[in-house]
Amino acid sequence: MNSKKPRQSLHHSECNHLSRRDFLSMSAGLIASLPSMTDELTSLLENSADHVAPTRGETRGPARSFRLKSKRPSQTQQEGGRLFLTFDDGPLPCTGRILDQLAASGQTATFFVLGRNLSNPSLRQFAVRALKEGHDIGNHSFSHPYFSAISMNRAKQEIVSTYRLIDELVLEAEVDPNRQNRFFRFPYGVAGSRSNYLASQDVLGELNYKIAWWDLDTNDWRMELPWFPTRPSSVVASLNRARPGDVVLLHDRVKTSECLPAILKSLEWCKLASLPLSSYDSGTVAPSEKAVPDENILSSKSTNNLDADALAEELSQALFPQGHPADIVVDSAVVAPRVSRGSNLW
């Protein structure tokens, strides 16, 4: 009794007749298409969220720094009661509450915003409001990546795309452009290796940016850690160390918005008031016409792939927040010291 061969066997037989040349040609075509497929997939993944809410802040341990010295604000020495509150990672839904509390206390601050969040209309309105209420807007990159884990082309995109969004924001709010978009802060306080940092300086210099570090880190983002969170009372108590002329690091966080009234009250008891960073060292930071960035800066593509070292650093930061091994090993990063008097702006 004869029966036909199964369909699967016929396919197997056909495959046996595929020539070596045809096989190699087909394989080469698949390999050649992989880069474009990867770029497209990466683009889809990177643009899937309409805003960024980093899970940690800009806290890093001491490491080698290549920063220059700059004098303290002259008006601070004369008036004796001014410092500079800065809020990173916004705008986010909690930014509205932060603005409410600043307005109620008569304080002004600087918000280091993320470009992707500005692209969200529901969040963008908070940045417009901040400008209209006398606050400054600074650049904190587009998507808050580790600059030590991305290419130089990607770093340029992160800086310039947010620069342009802030400029559009300033036009919309109809405020003084000479006061805005003048400061950049590296995500996580890390600029990468010395060579990567020096390359970033070219772009930042072209855009007339000054790099903003900080004197006092409140560690406010740690209040939202899922394990062993910092107590709000500790964050408020950190303001007792504030001195006139300090740049204070805070974040757009729900917990921060909840304890901000106590923070502002603490400043009031210390007879300190906050000003925007455009008032910092006003004698040496003269308003100037912004340079127009080179269009070629945004022409190349790169992916944002965190390597094993970056992932290990992230884990170490969560497990050893008071001083983890990564802070000792990574001594080539450009970071802000925990306390550095007179050198928090370039």
Q: Which one is catalytic: 51, 88, 246, 252?
A: 88
Catalytic residue among 251, 252, 324, 327: 251
**329 vs 122, 178, 313, CA distance in Å?**
41, 40, 10
Q: Which residues pair with 31 in a beta bridge?
A: none
d(CA 95, CA 56): 17
Catalytic annotation present for 144: no
Alpha-carbon distance of 273 to 80, in angstroms, equals: 10
> Which helix (H) or strand (E) segment is 183 a member of?
strand 183-184
Q: Which two tokens stand for residue 214?
A: 């900080």
Name the 3-class secondary structure at 235. Answer: helix
Q: How far apart are CA 265 and CA 271, in angstroms?
A: 10
DSSP letter for each residue of 160-178? HHHHHHHHHHHHHHT--GG
Q: CA nearest 284: which of 173, 165, 182, 171?
A: 182
- Give catalytic status of residue 251 as yes or no: yes
CA atoms within a 13 Å half-sphere pointing along the CA-CB vector of 327: 19
Residues involved in catalysis: 88, 251
